[in-house]
Structure 1
Amino acid sequence: MQIEYIGAFQIVLGVLYQFWPVWLAMAIVLFASFNFRKHLGLYGQLYDSGVGISGVFICFFWLFTAIFASRVAPFDPLAQIPIMKDALPGAIVPDSGKTYLFGGDKLSRDVFSRMVFGSQIVLIIAPAATAFALMVGITLGLPAGYYGGKIDAFLSFLANLVLAFPVILLFYLLVTPGIMDTPIPYAMAGVFFLFPIIFFTVLFYTRFKTRPEKLYPYVGLTLLLGGWVYAGLVFNADPLGIISIDPNQLNIFVAVVFASSPGVFRIVRGLTMDIKTRDYVSAAQTRGERPWYIMLWEILPNARGPLIVDACLRIGYTTILLGTLGYFGLGLAPESPDWGTAIKDASRLLRSFIHPALPPTFALMSFVLGLNLLADALREQSMKD
């Protein structure tokens, strides 16, 4: 049976049409954000520069692509149609009328659908792992910079010990099958996932310790939600069956948090050492405020600008690391639609068929570019503040 093809212009129109839920969601969010930007703080200030608008546009595009992936993608990312093996872009599937807009790969899967579903993996692991790395780095960096002395020396030694390893080698050691089959990743996850619970519990306690009517609900909600998420992620024991994570994704998640936390720690430590000399910190100490209150409610809010910028850049670094791990076949399952695995699979036949490698490559590049533009705009705004 011979495969029929549509033209390049029809391919472009087809791609634009498939993304209609994304365009609609972006139009609503961007229109509302632009009109109310004066009331949206730092986020609203991003719309005052072309760099900020570009970064927000690209990041929102991939965010809504991940959210609406099942509607955007015309095929299941794992579905195979034998006749479509290595089909060129614009190939029409016989008897169905649907089109492989970006062609088929060596296993007869739709490249466009795999690129779309690959965004879900990136948008789940990269921001979440960065958030946990921030929690770990902030929780350890604040006391190291504030107290100094032996506490600083000990925590800095641990951070430098991790940073001494080459990143790729460190990831290779953490996600190789020999390690993945042991309790080590789950033990590390059990430690790292405690930090958000500890952080928010101390945060609310230092703020509302003299106001029990607010302290008990906030701390109780933190322990309830934190324990629920902790049980689901670490022990896969969510009684509602809502929170769960694939073992392969958990291993990569833990590896990213472990490798990123020391960098966040050093940034927070440096900022704390600088900010603790300010007059408002001295005023809080004179009032008799506790050290953790000063760290969380006086120092941390004034360090938010550099941390937000670093978070955006770190999500980009994590995205590149995920692509690198997928390219080397580490961590995620071989059939995973993540962009790194897709690039690896396509690179083996690159001289014969280049089209399967281009969509995931441009997707990875554009998402990291959007994050870098967003970080540049945030840096400019934080410097103005």
Structure 2
Amino acid sequence: MSDTSAVRPDIAPRPPLPGAAAPRGPRARLVGPLRSLFGGLALVRESTVAMIGAGLVGFWVVVALLAPWLAPFDPNSQFVPFAPPGAPHPDGGTFLLGADHLGRDILSRVIWGSRTVLFYAPVATGCAFAVGIVMGLLAGYKRGWVDDVLSRLSDIILSFPILVLYVVIISTFGASGINIVLAVTFASAPGIMRIVRGLVLDLRNRDYVAAAQTRGESTAWIMFVEILPNARGPLIVDACLRLGYTIITIGVLGFLGLGLPPPDPDWGGMVNQTRSMATFAPHMTIFPVIAISSLVLGFNLLADGIREISLKD
């Protein structure tokens, strides 16, 4: 009896049909998204505005990552109150940006404050996008009563001034990093939901969605695999803009005394603590304000550059 499992030498393997996708292994599934990510980052070079924005954002990211090595002194150690920029430090070195009313080195606090902003702003924005995207996908794809309920809920939340929502939530639950994330998520998710819903209403009628429905794919597969990747362009631009808004929000909450509790370095809190003394020691407020403005400007320029690139395509 012949071995039926052996391949007959006179029969060659059938070649794949034209256009048929080759089976993808785990490595291919990992390399594909990474290649798309780096390809998208390479597109930033096509816009001067995007390059400037990426440079500003990248600068602060590097500062935040290297804060323990870049900060010349401990951000909470007290030395010489109201020391002007360039004044000598008692332990050696120089107060490059001066010292605040408690004698803390402003440069060190600005450097460590970048860690605070660049941690909580992306986390809060990411949580808001996660909730808003799920709500928008459900409302736009399912329609019917699901759309009505989610749309009315978002209308109710958006009817309140966003800053009032932040103040009410944080005043109720207390000032902390987690509560800032919760406040930003609660107030920002409805706006993101509206954007995603509008995109889904257009994409749900495309041929590839109909093909997925014909194949019997699940609703979750169609929403997250077929529709969401094709809506990523406008969402990336909106994410960059919202990161800038969230940074401003964190700064405003810190200025109102609703940011991170002291003594953690917080750019908005630094301005709040020294604003009454800005007339005779302006360096205590100028440098935190410059830090906030430059980082927000970087995200806005990056968003404008990405929009410019998408319009060219």
CA contact (8 A) 1:146 1:273 kept: yes
1:47 and 2:32 aligned: no
- How much has 1:38 moved relative to structure 2? 10
1:151 and 2:152 aligned: no
- How much has 1:346 moved relative to structure 2? 2.0
Q: Which residue pairs with 2:101 in the alignment?
A: 106
Counterpart of 2:307, as a letter, is R
- How much has 1:293 moved relative to structure 2? 1.5
- How much has 1:350 moved relative to structure 2? 1.3
Match of 1:62 among 54, 60, 63: 60
1:291 and 2:219 aligned: yes
How is 1:153-192 mapped onto 2 (pairs within 5 angstroms)?
153-176=148-171, 178-180=172-174
Counterpart of 1:71, as a letter, is W
TM-score (norm 2): 0.86
CA contact (8 A) 1:38 1:45 kept: no
CA deviation map 1:154-186 (0-9, x unaligned) = 01111111111111111111111x433xxxxxx
1:140 and 2:138 aligned: no
1:344 and 2:272 aligned: yes
- How much has 1:351 moved relative to structure 2? 1.1
User: In 1, Cα distance between the equivalents of 2:201 and 2:36?
Assistant: 33
Q: Which residue pairs with 2:185 in the alignment?
A: 257
The 3 A distance-change label for structure 1 pair 322 and 38 is closer
Counterpart of 1:362, as a letter, is I
Counterpart of 2:226, as a letter, is E
CA contact (8 A) 1:340 1:360 kept: yes
Counterpart of 1:80, as a letter, is Q
User: In 2, Cα distance between the equivalents of 1:152 and 1:117?
Assistant: 44
Structure 1: stretches of 5+ with no match in the other structure: 1-36, 181-246
Instruction: Name the SS for the 1:40 alignment partner.
Output: helix
- How much has 1:307 moved relative to structure 2? 0.7
CA contact (8 A) 2:46 2:309 kept: no
Match of 2:112 among 105, 114, 117: 117
User: In 1, Cα distance between the equivalents of 2:243 and 2:173?
Assistant: 25
User: In 1, Cα distance between the equivalents of 2:279 and 2:38?
Assistant: 49
Counterpart of 2:89, as a letter, is V
Q: Which residue pairs with 1:327 in the alignment?
A: 255
Counterpart of 2:84, as a letter, is L
- How much has 1:288 moved relative to structure 2? 2.7
Q: Which residue pairs with 1:80 in the alignment?
A: 78
CA deviation map 1:63-118 (0-9, x unaligned) = 1111111111111111101xx11111001013x22111000111111111111111
Instruction: Name the SS for the 2:295 alignment partner.
Output: helix
CA RMSD of aligned residues (A): 1.6
- How much has 1:331 moved relative to structure 2? 3.3
CA contact (8 A) 1:251 1:331 kept: no
1:269 and 2:190 aligned: no
Point out the structure with max Rg over C-alpha: 2
CA deviation map 1:197-220 (0-9, x unaligned) = xxxxxxxxxxxxxxxxxxxxxxxx
The 3 A distance-change label for structure 1 pair 250 and 322 is same
User: In 2, Cα distance between the equivalents of 1:165 and 1:299?
Assistant: 31
Q: What is the percentage of aligned positions where both structures have the same residue? A: 48
Tell me the number of residue pairs that the alignment of Structure 1 and Structure 2 aligns.
Answer: 279
Structure 2: stretches of 5+ with no match in the other structure: 1-34
User: In 1, Cα distance between the equivalents of 2:182 and 2:138?
Assistant: 23
CA contact (8 A) 2:255 2:269 kept: yes
Instruction: Name the SS for the 2:42 alignment partner.
Output: helix
TM-score (norm 1): 0.70
Q: Which residue pairs with 1:90 in the alignment?
A: 86
Counterpart of 2:176, as a letter, is N
Counterpart of 1:161, as a letter, is I
CA contact (8 A) 2:132 2:189 kept: yes
User: In 2, Cα distance between the equivalents of 1:126 and 1:104?
Assistant: 26
Q: Which residue pairs with 1:7 in the alignment?
A: none
User: In 2, Cα distance between the equivalents of 1:318 and 1:117?
Assistant: 18
Question: Deviating runs (4+, > 6 A) in structure 1?
Answer: none
